[in-house]
Structure 1
Amino acid sequence: MRNTVTLSNGREIPQFGLGVYQVPRGSATEGAVKTALGLGYRHIDTAHIYGNEASVMAGIRAAGVPREEVWITSKLSSYANEYQNPAAMDQMLERLGTDYVDLVLLHEYSPAWKYGWQLLEQALSEGKARSIGVSNFNGKNLSNLMDFATIKPHVLQVERHPYYQQKSLRGYLASYGTVLEDWYPLGHGDRGLLSEPLFAQLGAKYGKSNAQIILRWHIQEGSVVFPSSTNPEHLAQNIDIFGFELADDEMAQIQAMDKNRYLNEYGK
C-alpha cells in the first residue's frame, strides 16, 4: 500500500496511518505500532501530551522497519509549556529517539502561538522537522497564522467526518496548498454516523464494513487519515480500503450528509 499526498514542500505523506491518541504508553502502543507496520502502515501520529512517543519508536524498532520508511508525526503542546521553550524540539527528538521528525504540529491554539510557529520554522531550517503544521486552529486564529507565517503550514489537523465536513475550510486551505488531516474520521465511534443506512448499502455493494466505507470517503476526499485501534483485526480492516473506489454519485451522497456538527469542543 503506497497511497501518498504531496505537500506544498514536495514531500509525500502517507495518506493512511495509525493514530495513538488515548493508547497507553508501553506495550499497548508498542504492540499496536508493530502490528500496524506489519500490515503495511507507514504513518504513525503521536504527540507529547499523549505520553507515548518513546513507545512509538519502540514499536517501530520491534517491527524491524527502517526509520526512513516510517512517517512520524508528533506535536508540541502549549499545555506542556513548549511554545516558548527553545529546547522543545530537541526534547521531542530525544523522547522519540530519532534525529528528525517527518511532521511536527502545534497541537492547539495558544496566545503564545507566534513563538511556537517560529520554533517550527527554525526546526524546519535546521532539519529537525521535515514538514510543519498546526492542529485545532480555526477561524481568525488560522487566518492570523497564515498572515504571520513565513512558511505556510503544510498540514492542518482538525476534526472531520461525514457529519462535520468543513467544506469552507477545505476551500480556504486550497489556496495555500495546505493538506487536511482528519481526526475523529469515524466520528469517535458515533453510533448515528456508523449506522447510517447509506454506509450499509455501500458496504453491501463493495463487501466492506460501514467504517471502511467512511474511511474510503476520506481517502477520496484527499485527506490524510489515521484511525486509532489496538485490536489487530480492526487494524487489518481499517487499512483494507484500497481495493475499491466509490463512484462520484456515491461520494456526493456522503457529502450531502454534512450536518456541520462537531463532536469535540476542539473541533469547532
Structure 2
Amino acid sequence: MNSEKPKNEINRRKFLQHTVKFAAAGMYLGAFGMPELFANEIINTGKGAAGIPDVKLNNGVKMPMLGFGTYGLSGEVCQQSVKEAISAGYRLLDTAKVYGNEEAVGRGIKESGIPRKELFVTSKLWVDDAGYETAKKGFEETLRKLQLDYLDLYLIHRPRGDVKGSWKAMEELYQAGKIKAIGISNFDPVQLADLLSYAKVKPVINQIETHAYFQQNNDFKVLKQHNIHMEAWAPFAEGRNGLFTDEVLTQIAKKYNKTTAQVSLRWHFQRGIVAIPRSSQKAHIVENLDIFDFKLADADMKAIEQLDLNKTQFPEWS
C-alpha cells in the first residue's frame, strides 16, 4: 500500500441492504468457496478461521486468501482494530515499516491471545533500508517492533534503491528460517523480470494496487505465467472514484443481498487474488469476512470487468 495518509473512509453503512446479516460464525465454503486456479497452485478449501480458504504459494507455504490491512491505522486504534480483526477470524495481517504502526500491530497480536503459529503476518522493507546490510537491519527492527521471532511473509515495498542487495539479504533470512516466504510489492512486469534474472529464490507474491477500476490484467497474466501470486492493496480503491456507490456494483450487491464492499471482495476472491481490506470499524471488519456464502455469476463478473479504467486511482504513489 502507499505511504500517503488516507482520506476519511467512506461510510458504507448507508449502502447496506437491510437484509444483510453480519455473522462471521455462519460462514461456509460449500459450492461457493472455490475460485478459479491461479497459475498452477491449488486453492486449499480446508476449514480455516472464519471459513477463509488458503492459497498454496509456490514454495508450499499456505496463506489465507483474505486478510486484514493496517495502512492508515495507528496507535490505540490500530492496536484495537488488529485485536478485533483476529477475534472476528482474520489470520492474515498486513503491515509495513513505512506505515509507522508495527508496534501497535504487535501489541494487537499479543493481546488477541491467539497462538503465533495460527497467524500469518506480513511486513515490508521500505526504500530507506534498501541494500544488503541495511535490509537485514530493517528486518530485525521490524521483528522487534512486532515482538515476533519470525515473519510469515516479507516484501520489498517498492522497487527502489539496491533491490538486488535487498533480495539477497531476504533470501538469506528466508534460508535461515526467519521468514517463511519472501515477495515483492509494486513491481511492474519489467521490474519483476529484472529481479528474476538474478533471484535464487522466486518471490511468492506481488502486492499491487488492484480493484474494479484498475484490474491490472497484464500484470495478472504475467504473474500467473511465473506462478507468483497476486495480492491486492486497496481492494476498494479506498472509495475513490465513487466505488462504494458505483451503479453496477450497487445493482449486483442488491441481487445477492450484499454490500458493494462484499461484492468487490468476492470479485477478487473469484479471480484468485488475495485481498487485504482495512477498516477501524468493527461492523466493517466483520462485514468484509462475509463473502463465502455466495458466488458471483459469470455475467456479474463480466459486468465488473467492464468497470476497468486501466488507470491508477493513486497517482501520488506512481
TM-score relative to the length of structure 1: 0.95
Does residue 31 (structure 1) correspond to residue 80 (structure 2)? The answer is yes
Q: 1:143 aligns with which of 183, 189, 193?
A: 193
Is 1:78 the counterpart of 2:127 in the alignment?
yes
Aligned to 1:177: 227
Give the Å deviation of 1:191: 4.1
Q: Distance in 1 between matches of 2:70 and 2:269?
A: 19
Q: Give the one of 110, 116, 120 matched to 1:67.
A: 116
Aligned letter for 2:203?
Answer: P
Choose 252-261 or 222-231, whichever is displaced more.
252-261
Q: Hey, what does 2:288 align to over in structure 1?
A: 238
Deviation of residue 139 (structure 1)? 3.7
Q: Is the 8 A contact 1:76 1:83 kept in 2?
A: no
After superposition, the Cα gap between the structure-2 partners of 1:87 and 1:32, relative to the gap in structure 1 and judged at 3 Å, is same
The answer to whether the 8 A contact 1:183-1:226 is kept is yes
Distance in 2 (alpha carbons) for counterparts of 1:57 and 1:37: 12
Q: Does 2:54 align with 1:4?
A: yes
Code of the residue aligned with 2:299 in structure 1: it is D
Q: Name the SS of the counterpart of 1:151 in structure 2.
A: coil
Match among 302, 314, 317 for residue 252 of structure 1: 302
TM-score (norm 2): 0.80
- For 2:129 and 2:164, how far apart are their aligned partners in 1? 16
Residues 267, 257 of structure 1: CA spacing in aligned structure 2 closer, same or farther, 3 A cutoff? Answer: farther
Following superposition, the deviation at residue 266 of structure 1 comes to 6.8
Q: Distance in 2 between matches of 1:265 and 1:150?
A: 33
Distance 2:190 2:83 in 1: 40
Which stretches of structure 1, 4 residues or more, deviate above 6 A after TM superposition? Answer: none
Partner of 2:312: 262
Could you say what the CA RMSD is over the residues aligned between the two structures, in angstroms? Answer: 1.5
Distance 2:234 2:137 in 1: 31
Secondary structure of residue in 1 paired with 2:197: helix
> Residues of 2 paired with 1:80 and 1:142: CA distance?
19
Residues 133 and 172 of structure 1: is their aligned pair in 2 closer, same or farther, counting only changes over 3 Å? same
The Cα offsets for residues 145-188 of structure 1, whole Å up to 9 and x where unpaired, read as: 12221111100000011111111111111121100110111011
Distance 1:101 1:266 in 2: 29
Gap runs ≥5 in structure 1: none
Contact conserved, 2:131 with 2:164, CA < 8 A, in 1?
Answer: no
Q: What's the offset of the Cα at 1:221?
A: 0.9
What residue is the counterpart of 1:194 in the other structure?
Answer: 244
Per the alignment, residue 212 of structure 1 pairs with 262
How many pairs are equivalent? 267
SS in 2 for 1:148: coil
CA shift at 1:81, angstroms? 5.1
Residue of structure 1 equivalent to 2:99: 50
In structure 2, distance between residues paired with 1:23 and 1:16 = 18
Question: Post-superposition shift, 1:83?
Answer: 5.3
CA distance in 2, matches of 1:90, 1:192: 40
| Relative contact order higher in (CA < 8 Å, ≥ 6 apart) | 2
Find the aligned partners of 2:184 and 2:285 in 1 and give their Cα distance.
26
The residue aligned with 2:48 is none
- Contact kept? 2:171, 2:201, Cα under 8 Å: yes
Residue 147 of structure 2: which of 97, 100, 108 is its match?
97
Higher mean displacement: 82-91 or 232-241: 82-91
